Structure 1
Amino acid sequence: MDRRTPATDPAVARRGETLLNDIEYRFRLMGQGPSPMSVDGRSLGHGLPRRAIALPELSAILMHPSCGYAARDTAWRLLVQRARTGDPAWRVGAVGVALPGLRFKAYLLAKLFTADVQAAIVEHFLRALGTVDPAKPGVVGNLLSAAFSKARAELREQEPASSGAPNHAAGTSLPPTPYGHPDLVLARAVTTGAITVQEAELIGATYLEEVTLTAYAERFGQPRWNLYKRRTAAVARLKAAIESGALSDLYTDVVNEATATAGLDVPTARKRP
């Protein structure tokens, strides 16, 4: 099996518009055969299966709403550690496990830019594997948010005339399965106009990826109170869309429950910018 990383594989680079599909194909191959790439669920604990878990199965387990935050963080700390050994196979494996989140971030970027957003998000995710602090909670959320912010900044420099309005060019359709993943409920909300791309990223990062509102505000250089007000208004529109049935899906309850959580890094008093 070819074990070059996605960012340096010229065959993949020529097909940038299908990069994530190519990575997924390679990732699935890693989970097959008599010796698939796997992690030891027994040593990871936190309710994960007490056996070898092939990476594609691990990805499915970690993205399921029933999987706890502690299990996600423990598994992702191990993936980051192995990716940092420099083994290309584990770098591809980490990208593969993160594919549901990467597809969502690429979808949001494709609403704003016409460049190769998939290549940008993968490149910056690979870089984030080497820089993220795995000791902090919400490891995968921190990885995805860092990759998104860096990719967006790079794409904005490449397309300085971009107005920030949604881009409906070819290739911006909803990403493929799993359609019920909470991130993709947010993607539907963007498509229907219930919330904006920026609001989807804000909600996704601070409610579903365990990135605190304070950390998010620092990352993007914005006042926390302003983000809090924007998020509150966006959540209200999102809830209205869910309750109306406009985003009908098996997992909309997951988003609804997450955004109903009280006291999640909510400022107690207005902060001056």
Structure 2
Amino acid sequence: MARRSRSDYTTSALRVAQQVFLAATTEPTNLVLRREDLDGDVPQDVRTQLPPGRILLRPLRDLLLRRQTPLAVRDAVWRVLIRRARSDRSTWLVVALGMAMPGLRREARALTLDSAGDRDDVESALAEGFVAELYRVDVTARALCARLVRAAHRAGVKQVYHDAAARGVVWSQFASCAPQTPWGHPDFVLLDAVRAGVLSRAEAWLIGVTRLERAAVDEVASMLGERPNTVVVRRHRAERRLRDAIAVGTVTCSPFPGATASPPSASD
């Protein structure tokens, strides 16, 4: 008997969204973008980064993923995607998930690599976190896609922690056992560092978004209105304090995943 692939019977919202996105964006399709769809205040030099005429979504996604594509171009496109998704609440919502799928799948792999939990549950949590953030994110902000994926990551971490806690309540005849995943997860360590006063919320966010989310330092610096070298130095100092605090046991791992590190404000 032929073995069925996981995709034949998965209940993962993320995988279903990927399948629908691929089907809906295959020609012939009217799910396209044009330069004219960008906001009226988008500079001409940003518009010309996009090809003229109908822009199919899968080639557009490839364009946005290129490192040389400016952040301003990515954000201009994502503002259109977010507004259409909020208005449509169906097709374009799936399109938004599909456009962010490379980042979402990377998060799914990272969260389930050492986890014994249900991968479908984690992927569905990622999709839920992404969609929830899509409806509340400020579209005038910068690094929009990174913000959405970061919110999905936080939702996925909570799901992994929930699965680990559920497995941990099962009775065992042994007096002790290895900590359940996600013990020591970087997000929880950062939260514990903030509670211990080792890091500020802004420093925890900076480490998380550049180290865990792998956002480019120059993009984060642009979002904060600072020079990249300044951001690198500030992150290095924060990481040294964090390293020393972990070494002496001041910072370990938060047992409470409810709080999250958020982007810095002017008061941080």
Flag whether TM exceeds 0.5 (same fold). Answer: yes
Matched, 1:32 2:26: yes
Change (3 A) 1:112 1:125: farther
Structure 1 counterpart of 2:128, from 123, 130, 137: 123
Cα displacement (A) at 1:264: 2.4
Cα displacement (A) at 1:267: 2.8
Matched, 1:198 2:174: no
1:101-121 Cα shifts (integer Å, max 9, x gaps): 001111111135322211111
Change (3 A) 1:229 1:118: closer
Distance in structure 2 (CA, Å) of the matches to 1:85 and 1:29: 21
Cα displacement (A) at 1:71: 0.5
Judge conservation of contact 2:33–2:54 (CA < 8 Å) in 1: yes
Cα displacement (A) at 1:90: 0.4
Structure 2 counterpart of 1:267, from 226, 230, 234: 234
Q: TM-score, normalised by structure 1?
A: 0.57
Matched, 1:16 2:11: yes
Matched, 1:163 2:180: yes
Residue 180 of structure 2: SS of its match in structure 1? coil
Matched, 1:142 2:142: no
Aligned equivalent of 1:64:
66
Q: Which runs of 5+ in 1 are unaligned?
A: 1-11, 167-195, 203-212, 236-253
Change (3 A) 1:28 1:133: same
Q: TM-score, normalised by structure 2?
A: 0.58
Q: Runs in 1 of length 4+ with deviation above 6 angstroms? A: 228-231, 254-259, 268-273
Distance in structure 1 (CA, Å) of the matches to 2:25 and 2:230: 40
Distance in structure 2 (CA, Å) of the matches to 1:227 and 1:68: 25
Distance in structure 2 (CA, Å) of the matches to 1:226 and 1:47: 33
Aligned equivalent of 1:177:
none
Distance in structure 2 (CA, Å) of the matches to 1:228 and 1:129: 19
Structure 1 vs Structure 2: percent identity of aligned residues? 23
Distance in structure 2 (CA, Å) of the matches to 1:49 and 1:153: 40
1:116-172 Cα shifts (integer Å, max 9, x gaps): 211111121111111112211110011111111122123312322463459xxxxxx
Cα displacement (A) at 1:78: 0.9
1:232-261 Cα shifts (integer Å, max 9, x gaps): xx79xxxxxxxxxxxxxxxxxx979999x5
Map 1:101-120 to 2 at 5 A.
101-113=103-115, 114-115=117-118, 116-120=121-125
Change (3 A) 1:127 1:40: same
Residue 108 of structure 1: SS of its match in structure 2? helix
Cα displacement (A) at 1:53: 1.1
CA RMSD of aligned residues (A): 4.3
AA partner of residue 223 (structure 1): L
Moved more, 121-130 or 69-78: 121-130
Distance in structure 1 (CA, Å) of the matches to 2:31 and 2:75: 19
Distance in structure 2 (CA, Å) of the matches to 1:43 and 1:229: 32
Distance in structure 2 (CA, Å) of the matches to 1:83 and 1:58: 17
Cα displacement (A) at 1:34: 3.1
Cα displacement (A) at 1:266: 4.4
Q: Which runs of 5+ in 2 are unaligned?
A: 1-6, 39-46, 169-178, 221-227, 243-250, 252-268
Change (3 A) 1:267 1:228: farther
AA partner of residue 16 (structure 1): T
Cα displacement (A) at 1:49: 1.0
Structure label with greater radius of gyration: 2
Aligned equivalent of 1:223:
199
